[in-house]
Amino acid sequence: MSKLFSIFGNPVSHSRSPLMHNCVFKHLNYKACYTRTLLEDGAKIKETFFALGLDGANVTVPHKESAYAACDEVRGFAKKIGVVNTLMNENGKLIGYNTDADGFIYAISEFKNIKNILILGAGGTAKALCQKFLEEDLHVSILNRSKNRLEYFKTLPCKCYTWENFEIVNYDLVINTTSAGLKDENLPAPKKIIEDILNNTRYVADVIYGKLTPFLQLAQEKKLTCKDGSDMLLGQGVLANELFCNFTCKKEDIKREMQKSFQL
């Protein structure tokens, strides 16, 4: 029997997930279809999931925390951060996973000898990546515009800075997780600080996709090895698709077919 998957979000019309997953299903001959569901009330995620007869789903902004709360069981890294982006129907039980942070790790697997990481921003994405990097015994520093959101990170073994007290050291990787550059032409910090950072790192990544941010543009001008957020999007999608196909498809095959959907 054919399986049915969906993405839940609000808004959801822009999501690339249906195209990414359907491309894989079609080319790997996996009998399944992936649709999109606009969900206004996050509290209704579980009843909507079962009413639609779904086998699995992805969850995007702003329902990732509601998805966590709705699960009968949460597995792996999602438990640690309280954020779920992938749901599975296991014999009528709702099981939650998080593939965002592992997807990012997968996306940067060709970056070698990463030990010291600077994360720009202190929002949800920064939280997930920071926890993941600490789990992997990496050194993490956080630089954020305002003090408030740093409170969470101060409880973790990482260094926390605002623009006012930032002190430059050498990093292996710098990641922009702020939304600066998404709908504007802002850098994630004053230009002097960004210049200093880019002059002292080997690799650069941005979680924003679909546009070249001023941050990534500056990094490219400095001839640094860079990645935009489409690799993270791909990474989380590949890991979610493995769950959807119940690990019957090879990761490399999923990646290859999903990557093709980015050209459509």
Please count the residues of this chain forming the interface with ligand NDP, following the rule CB under 6 A.
25
131 lies in the site for ligand NDP, by CB under 6 A: no
Question: How far apart are alpha carbons 165 and 169 in whole angstroms?
Answer: 13
DSSP string of 73-88, one letter each residue: EE-THHHHHT---EEE
Select the residue interacting with ligand NDP from 10, 35, 116, 179 (CB under 6 A).
Answer: 179
Which of the stretches 27-35, 40-48, 205-213, 241-249 binds ligand NDP when contact is defined by CB under 6 A? Answer: 205-213
Question: How far apart are alpha carbons 149 and 123 in whole angstroms?
Answer: 7
Select the residue interacting with ligand NDP from 11, 123, 190, 210 (CB under 6 A).
Answer: 123
Query: What number of residues does the chain have?
Result: 264
Identify whether 255 is a catalytic site residue.
no
Q: Which of 240, 226, 244, 235 is nearest to 262 (CA)?
A: 235
Which of the stretches 46-54, 69-77, 143-151, 246-254 binds ligand NDP when contact is defined by CB under 6 A? Answer: 143-151
121 lies in the site for ligand NDP, by CB under 6 A: yes
Taking CB under 6 A as the rule, which mask of x and - marks residues 227-246 in contact with ligand NDP?
A: --x--xx--x----------
Distances (CA, A) of 181 to 184, 215, 217: 5, 7, 10
- Beta carbon of residue 264, minimum distance to ligand NDP (angstroms, whole number): 18
177 lies in the site for ligand NDP, by CB under 6 A: yes
**Which residue of the set 26, 31, 46, 64 is catalytic?**
64
* Strands annotated E in 45-126: 56-59, 73-74, 86-90, 93-97, 116-120
For residues 166-185, one letter each, b for 16 or more C-beta atoms within 10 angstroms of the residue's C-beta and e for the rest, the string is beeeebbbbbbbbbbbeeee
157: helix, coil or strand?
coil
226 lies in the site for ligand NDP, by CB under 6 A: no
Q: Which residue number is nearest to ligand NDP in terms of Cβ?
A: 123
The residues of the shown chain that bind ligand NDP, judged by CB under 6 A, are 100, 121-126, 144-146, 149, 177-180, 182, 186, 188, 207-209, 229, 232-233, 236
